[in-house]
Amino acid sequence: MALWARPASRCCCCWLKAACAAELQRLRSSSKAVQACQGAAPLVLLASRHSFLPWGLQTYRRVSVENCSKPASAEDGSSSSPESNLLLPVKQEQAKPETIPDLNTEILCEDWDDVPPSSALEEISEEEAVQILADPLLPLQSSTLRDYVDHSETLTKLVQLGVDLSQVEKRQKAGQLLLTLDFEKDIKKILLFLKDVGVEDSQLGLFLTKNPYILGEDLEALETRVAYLKSKKFGNAEIAQMVSRAPYLLLFSVERLDNRLGFFKNELGLSVKKTKDLVIRLPRLLTGKLEPVKENLQVCQIEFGFQRNEIQQIAYKTPKILTASRKRLRQTFDYLHNIMGIPHHMLTRFPQVFNSKLLRIKERHMFLIFLGRAQYDPAKPSYISLDQLVSLPDEVGT
């Protein structure tokens, strides 16, 4: 090394030591400000005498945290010199340090208002759990419609109309049908149709309880069946009476209704008018099975010995005999004809006696025998007609 460079190197080292000592002294005096800054990085000196040029060709930069501790020179706008700061060597092209932006409380409040909904897996306290109102779950399977009333608007409104769901659910697949129907879309138009036919509002609940299947019928098909009855000279009042007394009537197709009317007309030998009167008084003849009717006609003819014209009169006057129990018919006829001695022509004249209970007939006949007045022949005195025997109240006999 040249002799002139040694004094210069010593001078540079002394100058560096003096600068470091001055910086450390300043840091001690501002230690409180430095401690108040959380997360402040320690200051490190990375310069050595091998990387330091005496004439300061390299630039140095102090590492600090913005807004934590500033030198006095920064506050009054003066620039800090290399002699008064702890410097680190950095490249000339390095960007300026980023500053932390001030927090805007209004923005934070807006962000807090948009809190996302709580997760279903989030833990809550017992008090919060008690306050949660949960709708009851719809049962996947049930043997009663009662479990579905709270979940179904259709069932709720049907109950309000007076429909007995406990009776409806006993009918095959009736409950499943109601659960698939929409009240406004499917049921309301059927209710209006029934009112137009003549079913009274007070009878709608009972009607639908007996025949809920009509709610699933096509409206156009129902209107066609009513039109057919009108074409057969049934009046509006008569149709209303028939539909109310035989709720299943409108479930039958036009072809089936026509076949039923033809059957009774031909089997009983009745005129069109008498056939119409017959089904008006007992409209379930059009909806019931025909086998019991055929069997009762054979019993009257073969077992009881009535003639065809007598059977015609009996059936026209008392249509219920066509659907009555064969066992009850046999017991009643046996007592009237064989015990009491009532001939066939008298039974044909008063066929309503077959509708009375056998016990009632026996009690009154035994009472008349006790009084000595059991006389049923109109050609003899003290005659008691069969109509009086079964229709008069007990007080008259006493």
Stretch (H or E) spanning 88: strand 88-89
- DSSP label at residue 185: I
> pLDDT tens-digit profile of 210-220?
999 999 999 99
Please report the pLDDT score of residue 27 as a whole number.
58
Neighbours of 376 (CB within 10 A): 20
pLDDT of residue 10: 53
Q: Split the chain (398 residues) into runs of 10 and give each run's mean pLDDT.
A: 46 56 61 45 40 41 41 43 42 47 49 54 73 58 68 88 91 89 94 96 94 96 97 96 96 96 95 95 94 95 95 95 95 96 95 94 94 90 90 63
- Distance, CA of 210 to CA of 199 (rounded, Å): 13
Q: Check residue 282 and give its pLDDT.
A: 95
Q: What is the DSSP string of 324-376?
A: S-HHHHHHHHIIIIIIS---HHHHHH-GGGGGS-HHHHHHHHHHHHHHT----
Q: What is the pLDDT of residue 121?
A: 65
User: What's the pLDDT score for residue 21?
Assistant: 63
pLDDT of the residue at 299: 96
- The model's pTM is 0.62
Residue 106 burial class via C-beta count within 10 angstroms: exposed 0-12, middle 13-18, buried 19 and up: exposed
Residue of 12, 26, 122 lying closest to 57 (CA atoms): 12
Number of Cβ within 10 Å of residue 257's Cβ equals 19
- pLDDT in the model for residue 58: 42
At 84 the pLDDT is: 42
Cβ-contact 259, 246 below 8 angstroms: no
Yes or no: say if 280 and 242 are a contact pair by the CB < 8 Å rule.
Answer: yes
Tell me if 388 sits within 8 A of 382, measured CB to CB: no
Domain boundaries, the chain: 12-31+41-89
Which tokens sit at 177?
């049908």
How far from 75 is each of 250, 296, 306, 313, 340, CA to CA, in Å? 101, 122, 133, 128, 136
Give the DSSP per-residue string, 22-47.
Answer: HHHHHHHHTHHHHHHSTTPPPP----
